[in-house]
Chain A
Amino acid sequence: MKKILSYIIPIILLGLVSCQKHDIDLIFGEPNQRIEDTLNIRNKALLASPYGWKTIFSPKGGGTYLFYMQFQADNRVLMVSDLNSNTTVPDTSSYVLRATGQPSLIFDTYNYLHILSHPYNPISGGTGGQGRQSDYEFYFKSVSADSIVLIGVKNQNVMILKKATEEEADFYKNGGISKTISEATSALNRARLYVDENGSQVSVDLSFALKTFSLTRTDANNNEVISSSAFTFAADGLDLVSPLLYNNTPFSKVYWDSTNKQFYLMINGAKVPVIAVAPPPLHTLLDQPEYKYLAVDPPTMPQYGKFNDLLQADIQATTDAGRTYNHFYFNFQPGLSNGANVVFGVTTASSSYWIEYNYYKMEYVDEDVGIVRFTFIGNNGSIPATLRYSKTLRAYFESHTFKIDYSDEPSPTGKIMGGMTCVEEPDVSFYGRFEAVWSNW
């Protein structure tokens, strides 16, 4: 009998255990249904912000960028970013919620966010084949009334979506970022910026291209101390990524007053304006060290119209002589004693040797507005062959008068751009960059 029981009891127990799975289902429900429900809840959370979301996103590969996103019911998402000038215009793409191990949000067709992940580094600015180690597939870490925290699936970047206000939505969707840039650029064009701190001027440097805001102070040893922060664009100004100090009070916002075209800080409830000092006329600076040379590199500084035709004639003459035209330049501080106060010259490739070097007397025709004429004094003994390298331009400079002024052409980093416009033929002009020292151009 015992033997019989030892067979029967395990079978009965097995029967009981094998049927218990129905109970588990009753408690937790159908797993697939639960996944679907979770995805729907997450999607509803994304759609719940009437004016969309904004995030300040810093991928592992560097940089901090603003993204504005508005999710729409048909799996579309509108996006704006301050990544570059093209991304300030809204664009829509697709998004989807999927269960990929966890419920995830995937931006599944190309939009501005993907620029940071692009493996081609001229697009992403990151490492070839890697991009900025960014993400466009995210798990949900947490969802609250005002924010959603996402974690990147591939690179674990954290993206915190914060509910945007109506004002912010209007700003980002209507090209607010590019409007701020163009307003501020034209209002503060080449101006020197500073804030007053206890009676001393603290220089302010603002770069829209690099998206940096810097303060420069001079310490007790007369050394420059620069504190700098990256920023992103907000509806009311610039959001600093790391706070800076004014009078030892931290601030992380630089406000833009669109009416008065002025930036300002708010320190303990008081407005501290960023003062803009318009630059002095360019021709009054030509005796300053950093304005010694005005250099023109034709391949990187393409010239226009008739002036370019004249320049090309000289370039061709140089090529015909078996040389490669490099730069032409003015030296406004040659330190000569023969009555000349300006040198006009040409350099050719393979060395920075001034293959062509001519002395001129530059005189003001109108000193108030900066109109000058050039009188040929002589050259450094160039042979007739090398004189051909500058023949056409010299002839033009010697027979016209010119107005010296700043140029709006894009500048190499940190360079001041200037140029001359012919008074008799106002559509003929050239531009170049100022250099303080002669280098291997």
Chain B
Amino acid sequence: MKKIYLYALIGTLAISVLNSCSDNKEDLSKPIYGLGGVSVPRTHVDSLIYETYTKPYNIDVKYRWDAGAMGYTTVLVPADESKVLPVMNILKKGWIEPFSEVVGEDFVKRYIPKQYVLIGSYAYTSSGNIVLGSADQGLVVNIFGVNQLNLKGKGDISQILGTIHHELAHVLHQNIMYPAEFEQVCAGSYNSNGLSVSTADARKLGFAGGYGMTAPNEDFATMVSTMLSNSKEEFDAILASIPDDPDGTNIGRDRLRQKENIIISYFLQAWNIDFRELQAKTSAAKAALTQ
């Protein structure tokens, strides 16, 4: 019996000691230092980004050097301030406006990648290749080489829009999966080494490019971005340029055509989007940007 009292006494003491220490007067409502990053005075560029992209679309544009977000190991340089708005304008004209017109503002606000990281130089990999753009999880899009971009050049505009259209395609299939028949078209030709396959060889097997060979999801995303970066006529011309196979057939062209049709009906059935109208708008926007 005595022992029970003793344990009770020890227990009470222990609890009171623990309690005494939780009774500190920390102000828990205080913001954590540095959580929102470093604040700097807003420049003209920052104000325009806020008005044009952040307020209507909740888009964040990161262009000031931040090693944590841009890379500790690769040698890069920060963006030139004078290139920030022109690069974002390509995004606006080639993505936001066509999609708003054809699909609607709400669609853009909901599915557009939300953070854009602009970096001055390209990223050089240890293999000597350069990285033009990359994207993480449909949320962050990294655009490299903005200081060197020819903002009127067809190739450079396609590079920026291609990255964004590609990421959008991933966001779409992550929400509503494309039909299973899509990956049946090229079944057996997927190849994890696709990146080292030339575009011409990839097209002979029915892929928009080597990267599309790596997995069905990448196949879908490269198909969508290729179709949106080119007008219908240009896409047809790409298909027409694929040489016939030795037996007189053209597997590449047939497969690309099948996948093109699946994508068009997927956009209509899953998203109620008229793909041809969207394609006409994005390719017209691209043509306008090069002038």
Does B80 contact A11, Cβ atoms closer than 8 Å?
no
Chain A positions 1-17 with a Cβ under 8 Å from a chain B Cβ: 4, 7-8, 11-12, 14-15
Fill in one digit per residue for B61-105: 1 if any A CB lies within 8 Å of its CB, else 0: 001111110000011111111000000000000000000000000
Set A110, A117, A129: member contacting B124, Cβ < 8 A: A129
Q: A247 interface residue, CB < 8 Å from B? A: no
Does B67 contact A100, Cβ atoms closer than 8 Å?
yes
Count of B interface residues, CB-CB < 8 Å: 37
Set A14, A94, A128, A131: member contacting B17, Cβ < 8 A: A14
Q: B14 interface residue, CB < 8 Å from A? A: yes
Q: B147 interface residue, CB < 8 Å from A? A: yes
Fill in one digit per residue for B7-27: 1 if any A CB lies within 8 Å of its CB, else 0: 001100110010011001000
Chain A residues with CB below 8 A from B14, complex form: 11
Q: B56 interface residue, CB < 8 Å from A? A: no
Q: A64 interface residue, CB < 8 Å from B? A: no
Q: Which of A97, A110, A137 has most chain B Cβ within 10 Å?
A: A110
Q: A15-B21, A106-B65 are in contact. Are A119 and B77 (CB under 8 A)?
A: yes
Does B10 contact A32, Cβ atoms closer than 8 Å?
no
Alpha-carbon distance A221/B41, docked complex (angstroms): 67
Q: B121 interface residue, CB < 8 Å from A? A: yes
Does B33 contact A32, Cβ atoms closer than 8 Å?
yes
Does B17 contact A7, Cβ atoms closer than 8 Å?
no
Alpha-carbon distance A11/B6, docked complex (angstroms): 14
Alpha-carbon distance A18/B128, docked complex (angstroms): 55
Q: A271 interface residue, CB < 8 Å from B? A: no
Q: B120 interface residue, CB < 8 Å from A? A: yes
Chain B positions 220-248 with a Cβ under 8 Å from a chain A Cβ: none
Does A19 contact B77, Cβ atoms closer than 8 Å?
no
Does A114 contact B120, Cβ atoms closer than 8 Å?
yes
Alpha-carbon distance A154/B65, docked complex (angstroms): 14
Alpha-carbon distance A2/B184, docked complex (angstroms): 80
Does B64 contact A94, Cβ atoms closer than 8 Å?
yes
Chain B residues with CB below 8 A from A408, complex form: none
Chain A residues with CB below 8 A from B128, complex form: 128-129
Q: A85 interface residue, CB < 8 Å from B? A: no
Chain A positions 98-121 with a Cβ under 8 Å from a chain B Cβ: 98-100, 106-110, 114, 117-120
Does B148 contact A7, Cβ atoms closer than 8 Å?
no
Q: A114-B120, A117-B77 are in contact. Are A108 and B6 (CB under 8 A)?
A: no
Majority-rule SS of A interface residues: mixed
Chain B residues with CB below 8 A from A114, complex form: 77-78, 120
Q: B38 interface residue, CB < 8 Å from A? A: yes
Does A109 contact B13, Cβ atoms closer than 8 Å?
no
Does B20 contact A19, Cβ atoms closer than 8 Å?
yes
**Would you give the shortest CB distance from A92 to chain B, in whole angstroms?**
9
Chain B residues with CB below 8 A from A99, complex form: 34
Q: B187 interface residue, CB < 8 Å from A? A: no
Q: B180 interface residue, CB < 8 Å from A? A: no
Q: A36 interface residue, CB < 8 Å from B? A: yes
Fill in one digit per residue for B40-52: 1 if any A CB lies within 8 Å of its CB, else 0: 1101000000000
Set A22, A106, A129, A136: member contacting B77, Cβ < 8 A: A136
Set A32, A35, A93, A130: member contacting B75, Cβ < 8 A: A130
Alpha-carbon distance A137/B63, docked complex (angstroms): 15
Q: A7-B10, A36-B33, A118-B121 are in contact. Are A96 and B40 (CB under 8 A)?
A: yes
Q: B275 interface residue, CB < 8 Å from A? A: no
Does B38 contact A109, Cβ atoms closer than 8 Å?
no
Q: A74 interface residue, CB < 8 Å from B? A: yes
Q: A94-B64, A137-B65 given. 16 additional CB < 8 A pairs?
A: A8-B13, A11-B14, A12-B13, A96-B40, A107-B78, A109-B78, A109-B80, A110-B79, A110-B120, A114-B77, A119-B76, A119-B124, A129-B75, A130-B75, A153-B67, A154-B75
Closest 6 CB pairs of A and B: A129-B124, A32-B33, A15-B17, A108-B65, A110-B80, A108-B64
Q: List 10 A-B contacts (CB under 8 A).
A: A11-B14, A12-B17, A14-B17, A15-B17, A110-B81, A110-B147, A118-B120, A119-B121, A120-B148, A136-B78
Q: Which residues of B are interface residues toward A (Cβ below 8 A)?
A: 6, 9-10, 13-14, 17, 20-21, 24, 33-34, 38, 40-41, 43, 63-68, 74-81, 120-124, 128, 147-148
